[in-house]
Amino acid sequence: MNPLVALSGLLLWAGLTLLLSELRWFSRRSIVARLGPYVPGGMGVRSRAGVLSVESFREAVGPLARLLGSQFSRLFGVTEDLDRRLTRIHSRLDVTEFRVRQIGWAIAGFGIGLLATIAFRPPAVVGPLLMLGGMLLAFLLLEQQVSGASDRWKRSVYLELPVVAEQVGMLLGSGFSLSAALDRVAGRGSGSAALDIRRVLSRVRQGVSEEVALREWADLVEVDALDRLVSVLALNREATDLGRLIAEEARAIRLDVQRELVERMEARGQQVWIPVTVATLVPGVIFIAVPFTRALGGFLTG
């Protein structure tokens, strides 16, 4: 039997088994799993997954996928923890689910490279490189998506901080407490900072103090302006003119954003002159080279 046909049949069998395991008529749950939600205290108990099901496959492959994914990430220079990045962007996936999906994409990339090698029959050296490249490309694509989303989230929080700080300062100056001010800002906002503040308030409702919850937010986002703002907000129980301090900090953050924007505009303005300079120098060099070459040729022949 052709090895490719055998491998395709094995993959088809595994895929159909996992797909059909989601159908009730194919994979019938036990009576304990069906009656569990109706038993007092049974809502928090997870039903036992079947032997041939997506849950059992995830539980079996999850630890290996986490280990391989973390090792490959460190190998390619990704030092920040994946759990930290997923928490920062409010992802619904946990580390195990993301790593399993990432390994699945890598296997799919390897399979596409294998099929391309069999179809086009490149040289012996190109075939393994094609399969390995497809696997690495799929793996790094998902890794780059998470890293890019994390960087965009940090940038969004940084740009929203001046407005958030000014709103908190005005509310505190109007007599609101710190928790009430944060709740008002989180309820009226819809940006990245508002979502993070909702998580801060959730931590406060769990029994964590406001200072600790805000410090956790600053440590997670890793923005210098937010560190300074949290340091000012930590003086809530000590300072009497906290609204003025927050207003000054918001003004400082806004100046930092404006300064960075001006630097970026100046850098882009300098980049505009690069094609103009090249377009000017190349014809000039050609016009100078033609008479110079003729004069040099006449000097050598004479």
Domains and their CATH numbers in the chain: 3-41+49-149 (no CATH), 156-256 (1.20.81)
Q: Which amino acid is at 185?
A: V
Asked if 29 contacts 47 with a C-beta cutoff of 8 angstroms, the reply is yes
pLDDT of 52 > 50? The answer is no
Per the model's pLDDT, the better-predicted residue between 42 and 223 turns out to be 223
pLDDT band at 68 (very low <50, low <70, confident <90, very high): confident
Contacts of 251 (CB under 8 A, 6+ apart): 162
Integer Cα distance of 196 and 24 in angstroms = 39
Question: Which among 179, 213, 185, 218 is positioned nearest to 199, based on CA atoms?
Answer: 213
The Cα angle at residue 103 between residues 98 and 106, in degrees rounded to 5? 125
pLDDT band at 20 (very low <50, low <70, confident <90, very high): low
Mean pLDDT across 168-174: 86
Structure tokens at 241: 């003119």
What are the pLDDT digits (tens) for 95-121? 888 888 888 888 888 888 888 888 888
pLDDT of 282 > 70? The answer is yes
Q: Which amino acid is at 273?
A: W
- Of 76-80, 121-125, 285-289, the least confident: 285-289
Integer Cα distance of 143 and 125 in angstroms = 27
The residue assigned the tokens 């619904």 is 92
Give the end-to-end CA distance of the chain in Å, rounded to a whole number: 80
pLDDT value for 249 = 86
Integer Cα distance of 249 and 62 in angstroms = 45
Q: How many CB atoms lie within 10 A of CB 259?
A: 10
Integer Cα distance of 125 and 113 in angstroms = 13
* DSSP alpha helix (H) spans, the chain: 3-20, 31-35, 54-75, 82-88, 95-120, 126-173, 178-188, 192-205, 210-221, 224-233, 242-301
pLDDT value for 218 = 92
pLDDT value for 154 = 93
In whole angstroms, how large is the CA radius of gyration of the chain? 30
pLDDT band at 93 (very low <50, low <70, confident <90, very high): confident
pLDDT value for 48 = 47
- The mean pLDDT value of the chain amounts to 80
Sign of the torsion angle spanned by Cα atoms 180, 183, 189, 191: positive
pLDDT of 47 > 50? The answer is no
Q: What is the pTM of this model?
A: 0.71
pLDDT of 46 > 50? The answer is no
pLDDT value for 257 = 83
Asked if 214 contacts 203 with a C-beta cutoff of 8 angstroms, the reply is no
Cα 72 off chain centre by: 17
